[in-house]
Homo-oligomer: A and B are copies of this chain.
Amino acid sequence: MRPSGRAPDEMRAITIETAFTKHAEGSCLISFGDTRVLCTASVERSVPPWMRNKGTGWVTGEYSMLPRSTHTRSSREAARGKQSGRTQEIQRLIGRSLRAVVDMQKLGERQITLDCDVIQADGGTRTASITGAWIALRLAVNKLMEEGAIKEDPITAKIAAISCGIFQGTPVLDLDYDEDSNADADANFVLIEGGQIAEVQATAEGATYDEEGLLRLLRLAQMGCADIFKAQEEATK
């Protein structure tokens, strides 16, 4: 039924290549099937002006798609002179999600920027970004702890994200581009290891859905994230 032949609750293959770039304090190239995102964590001693001299840190995210990561070339946001509303919405989501699992007191007065650059897009780029950003963050914080810059681990839990949707009437897990562009409803879940929800963004496209539909999508997401947490564990141990 699914264009890819996957079962409704079957995710695409996840691969994670850590230390993909050498300058960043933490980095990985994460793939969900053909979706590939380069996530880097950069540690800086300075925090935004409104946070200075409070001894607490900050975590923020940035997101971009390379112009030809998509089927047809998109114009470069730097050339257009501004980031699209979609880009800003996604980078706000990335930052908010990662901050949900960081204790800013323990991080101390430093900022970690998570850059998520989409190398190739095939659906689910924002959820892959959040998932990969956690790995880059984990690696960067490990480095800070090894160097003795941080005493106690500021990361309180794993966090991961996955998209689900209702495709031709059936709830399915981990939408690829073909499904995403034809889904009746599309939901992104950001979940914390242990069963808590950090964020739900569920949108009807054309059709609408009801309470039952929302719950079924949430349960698929919980199944998917269980697998993702294992992959994160493996990649960062």
Interface residue tally on A, bucketed by range: 35 or more
Interface residues of A in 74-96 (CB under 8 A from B): 76-79, 81-89, 91-92, 96
Tell me how far the C-beta of A16 lies from the nearest C-beta in chain B, rounded to whole angstroms: 17
The answer to whether B113 touches A73, judged by C-beta atoms less than 8 angstroms apart, is yes
Q: Which of A59-67, A142-150, A223-231 contacts B (4 or more CB under 8 A)?
A: A59-67
22-78 of chain A: CB within 8 A of chain B: 22-24, 27, 34, 38, 40, 42, 44, 62, 64, 66-73, 76-78
Q: How far is the CB of A129 from chain B (nearest CB, A)?
A: 14
Shortest CB distance A67–B (Å): 5
B residues in contact with A14, CB < 8 Å: none
State how many angstroms separate the Cβ of A22 from the closest Cβ of chain B. Answer: 6
Alpha-carbon separation in the docked complex, A217 to B187 (Å): 17
**Residues of chain B within 8 A of A209, CB atoms compared:** 196-197
Residues of A within 8 A of B (CB): 21-24, 27, 34, 38, 40, 42, 44, 62, 64, 66-73, 76-79, 81-89, 91-92, 96, 100, 113, 115, 117, 119-121, 187, 192, 195-204, 208-211, 213-215, 218
